[in-house]
């Protein structure tokens, strides 16, 4: 094989591997968190008045419609300081969500909160994909 063909083959192989990695979906469950669906969120909010709902999406997604009472905190900005500003204590209940399993931001945010020692974590894996499909109310 010529050097150019070898180089092109290597580039094509790398691109195919990155496409496979990008196509992976976020997990439906995360150890240390309780996975909830849209219906369970209503019950959770009713029974847990101090719950903090964190929307882990981009500003434009949040502006287009979010769960009422949600605070936007993108997954990449989660740190001990940013969580501490929004969550009173490490045992305060927190619900994380994003656009769903193809988005994956809530999975990353949930894992980070668990790593930081937060103990009452709820993970809405299906996120706004399910919420909007069920035509549930959104705040703007």
Whole-number pLDDT of residue 8: 36
Q: Is residue 78 part of a domain?
A: yes
Whole-number pLDDT of residue 2: 55
Whole-number pLDDT of residue 23: 53
Q: Is residue 88 part of a domain?
A: yes
Q: Is residue 7 part of a domain?
A: no
Q: Is residue 140 part of a domain?
A: no
Q: Is residue 8 part of a domain?
A: no
Boundaries of domain holding 64: 26-133
Whether 95 contacts 44, CB under 8 Å: yes
Please name which of 94, 108, 107, 103 lies closest in space to residue 128, comparing C-alpha atoms: 103
The torsion angles phi and psi of 134, rounded to 5 degrees, stand at: -90, 5
Q: CA–CA separation, 93 vs 88, rounded Å? A: 10
Whole-number pLDDT of residue 1: 54
CATH number (domain holding residue 66) = 3.40.250.10
Long-range contacts of 47-50 (CB under 8 A, 24+ apart): 48/93, 50/88, 50/92, 50/93
Whole-number pLDDT of residue 20: 37
Q: CA–CA separation, 80 vs 7, rounded Å? A: 44
Whether 109 contacts 78, CB under 8 Å: yes
Q: Is residue 51 part of a domain?
A: yes
Give me the residues of the chain with pLDDT under 70, please.
1-23
Q: Is residue 87 part of a domain?
A: yes
Provide the number of structural domains found in the chain: 1
Q: Is residue 74 part of a domain?
A: yes
Please name which of 103, 97, 96 lies closest in space to residue 120, comparing C-alpha atoms: 96
Both tokens assigned to 71 = 């605070």
Count of beta carbons in the 10 Å neighbourhood of residue 66: 20
Whole-number pLDDT of residue 58: 97
Q: CA–CA separation, 121 vs 35, rounded Å? A: 9
Whole-number pLDDT of residue 24: 81
């Amino acid at each position: 094989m010529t050097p150019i063909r070898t180089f092109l083959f290597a580039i094509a192989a790398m691109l195919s591997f990155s496409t496979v990695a990008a196509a992976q979906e976020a997990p439906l469950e995360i150890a240390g968190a309780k996975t909830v669906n849209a219906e369970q969120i209503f019950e959770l909010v009713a029974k847990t008045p101090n719950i903090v709902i964190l929307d882990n999406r981009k500003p434009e997604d949040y502006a287009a419609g979010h769960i009422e009472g949600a605070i936007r905190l993108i997954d990449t900005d989660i740190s001990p300081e940013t969580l501490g500003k929004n969550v009173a204590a490490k045992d305060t209940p927190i619900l994380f969500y994003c656009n769903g399993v193809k988005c994956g931001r809530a999975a990353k945010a949930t894992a980070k909160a668990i790593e930081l020692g937060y103990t009452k974590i709820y993970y809405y894996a299906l996120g706004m994909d399910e919420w909007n499909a069920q035509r549930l109310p959104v705040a703007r």
